[in-house]
Amino acid sequence: MRVRVEQTPLPGIGVRHDLVTSSGRTVGVVSHRNGRRDLVLYDVDDPDSCLASIPLTDDEAEALADVLGASLMLGQLSGLREQAAGLLTEQIALPAGSPFVGRRLGDTRARTRTGASIVAVLRDREVIPSPGPSIVFEANDVVVAVGTRDGLGGLTAILAGDTGD
């Protein structure tokens, strides 16, 4: 199902983007010319009437976008899990003491050694989807991986440095 976002110019103010949810609620973002953004919720009975407006700082808007993006991606991966028997998704925290902090993803040889694939890295408020082998891990990164239970267990051990390699 496609989601439609309507854009409405607001002369002298900026632009408004509205999204009507499947439940019939309308939520929007007003982007002011001065850079300010407001998250807005409209009245169900009067879509031109705003029930609530929440001003967002740049950091808050970025964090909200990251949360929505990360949860959407993880939700899609969970749906994949239901379609493929034995295939799991897992978030694995990279401990500060990992031998891979400061090293490239390719150095893990994770897919070759375990069959598990690293499909994203969550770093602070950033989501790095489909990371390439040259991405350098940082302490407290969270790796999102797809694989079998054994493969994910092996990947966890590799990232923790518990493999004897």
Q: What is the pLDDT of residues 44-67, one digit of tens each?
A: 888 778 899 999 988 888 777 777
Look at residue 8 and tell me whether its pLDDT is greater than 60. Answer: yes
| Other C-beta atoms lying within 10 Å of the C-beta of residue 122 | 19
d(CA 103, CA 115): 20
The predicted pLDDT at position 88 comes to 77
Higher pLDDT, 78 or 145: 145
Residue 38 banded pLDDT, cuts 50, 70, 90:
very high
What's 22's DSSP letter? T
- Output the CA–CA distances (angstroms, integers) from residue 123 to 31, 35, 53, 136, 141, in the order listed: 27, 25, 29, 11, 5
Count Cα atoms within 13 angstroms, Cβ side, for 100. Answer: 29
- Output the CA–CA distances (angstroms, integers) from residue 131 to 3, 18, 22, 105, 142, in the order listed: 27, 32, 32, 8, 12
Tell me the mean pLDDT in the region 1-27: 82
Lowest-pLDDT range, 6-15, 79-88, 128-137? 79-88
Tell me the mean pLDDT in the region 69-91: 63
The predicted pLDDT at position 70 comes to 58
Q: Which CATH class is domain 88-160?
A: alpha beta
Decide: pTM greater than 0.75: no
Q: What is the pLDDT of residues 116-127, one digit of tens each?
A: 999 999 998 788
Q: Where are the domains of the chain?
A: 5-84, 88-160
Look at residue 12 and tell me whether its pLDDT is greater than 80. Answer: yes
Strands (E), 66-110: 88-93
The top-scoring range by mean pLDDT among 16-20, 23-27, 112-116 is 112-116
